[in-house]
Structure 1
Amino acid sequence: MEEIEQLAAKMDRDTVLFIGSGASSPAGLPSWWELVDWLKDYTNSLGGDINAANEYLKTSQLINATSTLTSQLNKIGKSLADFFNEEPKCEIFTSATPKEIHQLIAQLPTSSIITPNYDLLLEKTFDETGKPMEMVYKGDKDRINSILRNAIKDYIYKYHGCITKPDDIIFDFNQYNTLIHTPNIDKECLRALIQTKTIVFIGAGLEDPDFNHIRDYLNEIATPKNMELWAFMRDCEPIKEHYKEAFGINLISYAGQGNDHSDLLTKLKDLILRLNDENGKVLDALEIASPSGIEQKKIEGLLRNALLQANDEVMPLDEAIIGFIAFFDTVEKNICFRYFHDRKGHQVGEISNRVEYLIQNKLIKATENYLMPMNCGFSQEAAEQMEEEILDYLMEQENE
């Protein structure tokens, strides 16, 4: 895939990921339409007038519908923050668990992320991989200035607010208009990043207002073609050339309908493999020799990348310990230690140090007596690498 190769060549530690709401939908988070419906039902349950909102929704004016509903809430002494705190359905913003797309995002070579999403999926993902991020919220001048000075690189910048700070969430027309059209540090930060960084959009749609704002901004300035903006977009093949010429945005089209994002996941796996594979030679050879085998190859490299994120080198013993634990799902500590001491010849102190290292870096989990794998793609890969060796070991144990 030529576009994936080109993007892999551009991505590095300084790349910024823009993660849109589409990345949250596999975890059960609502679309913008669904969230407005929730707000409408909440307003109606409190006796607010929803007639104007219904009229706006007939013509897909979601921001205006949200604004009139917010106005109705204010008239009865309520607010958007009350909606997010009191509406039972909004509990999903805190309870949702990361999915495969989030694990793939965490495998990319950058940890600089901006997102309009209110949920906690990205925070949970990076915590699970042992790489907690600096959280930057809307209006946080000190941390936003740190982003602009490159003083922090591992961050999640939630410029529309977060469910943990519902009073600051941007959802209606007045709030959004203020962000876009009045001087503020959030807008200036976004514009500076657009002009100075490689930006990759994942989970944003062509009708996403944030994506369109960036697109329109690029149309205003003189040299959009000198910038590096890439966007994974569903079924955008017919307009790719126009977007490149008019806005300097490189669109990567993926197929799918509704909640089917499998082709997007496939392309992200391609990208990860390209990033891990010098010049893409392994992938090219595999595509020629065995097209049917490429899907398995795409998931490989997650283990190596996870270990490299925790340390500067990959320790074979670390890979083996993760694989041994993941194979059994849950294993007693003494069984794990006995395997690597008696069968593999490692010293007990060495095994203990590596297990403790893996626990501290959240590559495995532990209780007092048991070891457990993280629920991530790299655990599956490690288990598959150890499978044959462990099966031989179990056969030997059975025959003794």
Structure 2
Amino acid sequence: MTSDTIALRQLIKNHKLIPFIGAGFSENAGLPSTLALTQKLLKHFNLDADEPIPPDTDLLHLTEYLKIIHDGSSTPVLNRLRSCLPDQDVALSRPHQLLAQLGASIIYTTNYDRLLERSFAELAMPYKVIVTTADIIQTTGCSEVQIVKFHGSLEVDDSLVLTESDYYKRLEFVTPIDIKLRADSLGKSLLFIGYSFSDFNIRYLWFKLRRMMYEVDPRDIPDSYILLFEPGHVTSVLLESMGINTIDLSRYEGLDRCEKLASFLQAVQP
């Protein structure tokens, strides 16, 4: 058992750890990666045939473009995303089940799918989905695990961070759900799973969080963690300078990333 594993188990036991879940986590259940999702949209809207759109086009750029050519409507993109993320038709992965059993009181995610909710439901564990301001207001007690959909839900169109414009608006960090993240994360550690260091989204989110805590003594801000597969030395040093410890997923047992992730989550169970 590594020192990071021991530290995480203690944080979980003391309710001081907030998992922050990205798209890579849902790939374990067979849902498409961000790149695959982008390619599906390109093909569906026939943009890979005649339009000179690079194959590595960013998803936010693409959804912004699709909204423009559909007269400012996001409906066509939303309908296609719903068909591309059929989370009711896929089997839950072992990591999803283990995450639900982790004992965290709050879980944040930027994913649109409902696999986390299904995990709690199938395990008969109480949970509360937080998407809107009304959801925050109506949150009562601490018996339910809060699943905070930081980029919105496909079931609540207005909540979605879907296009590049939506994303830039969210970077202002002034919405109630942003304020909630700041309040929830005070004195706690975040555990990023399903992201990469190249994900500007997470780097900027972390930068904004640290800036919003300017009045807090840096010595009183606990370190956070990110789970990466074979992170390089440069990446580890850069993240450490930001207050994020890297955990190498490749060191855990398993034949593939899904099994290794399950081994990690099993190891940190309190």
* Same structural fold, with TM-score higher than 0.5 when normalized by the shorter chain: yes
TM-aligned CA distance change 1:142 to 1:197, over 3 Å: farther
Which residue of 226, 249, 255 corresponds with 2:250?
A: 255
Distance 2:88 2:70 in 1: 23
- Asked if the contact 2:224–2:244 (Cα under 8 Å) also holds between the matched residues in 1, the reply is yes
* Alignment-mate amino acid for residue 20 of structure 1: G
* Alignment-mate amino acid for residue 68 of structure 1: Y
Which residue of 61, 69, 83 corresponds with 1:64?
A: 61
- Asked if the contact 1:64–1:173 (Cα under 8 Å) also holds between the matched residues in 2, the reply is yes
Distance 2:89 2:154 in 1: 11
What is the SS of the residue equivalent to 1:131? coil
* Alignment-mate amino acid for residue 161 of structure 2: I
* Alignment-mate amino acid for residue 15 of structure 1: L
Distance 2:222 2:138 in 1: 22
Distance 1:203 1:242 in 2: 19
* Residue in 2 that maps onto 1:27: 29
- Asked if the contact 1:63–1:172 (Cα under 8 Å) also holds between the matched residues in 2, the reply is yes
* Alignment-mate amino acid for residue 199 of structure 1: L
- Asked if the contact 1:93–1:118 (Cα under 8 Å) also holds between the matched residues in 2, the reply is no
Paired-residue identity, %: 24
Within 5 Å, which residues of 2 pair with 1:78-227? 79-86=73-80, 89-137=83-131, 140-145=132-137, 154-181=145-172, 183-218=174-209, 220=211, 222=214, 223-224=217-218, 226-227=221-222
Aligned-pair Cα RMSD in Å: 3.0
Higher CA-based Rg: 1
- Asked if the contact 2:127–2:144 (Cα under 8 Å) also holds between the matched residues in 1, the reply is no
Q: Please list every run of at least 4 consecutive aligned residues from structure 1 whose deviation after the TM superposition is greater than 3 angstroms.
A: 47-51, 86-89, 149-153, 218-225
**Structure 1 position 193, deviation (Å):** 2.6
Pick the structure with more helix per residue. Answer: 1
- Asked if the contact 2:41–2:80 (Cα under 8 Å) also holds between the matched residues in 1, the reply is no
Number of equivalences: 259
TM-aligned CA distance change 1:153 to 1:13, over 3 Å: farther
- Asked if the contact 1:102–1:125 (Cα under 8 Å) also holds between the matched residues in 2, the reply is yes
- Asked if the contact 2:16–2:187 (Cα under 8 Å) also holds between the matched residues in 1, the reply is no
TM-aligned CA distance change 1:84 to 1:119, over 3 Å: same
Distance 1:146 1:196 in 2: 24
TM-aligned CA distance change 1:133 to 1:150, over 3 Å: closer
Higher relative contact order (CA 8 A, sep 6+): 2
* Residue in 1 that maps onto 2:3: 2
- The two structures have a TM-score, normalised by structure 2, of 0.82
Distance 1:104 1:171 in 2: 29
User: Structure 2, unaligned stretches of length 5 or more?
Assistant: none
* Residue in 2 that maps onto 1:243: 239
- The two structures have a TM-score, normalised by structure 1, of 0.57
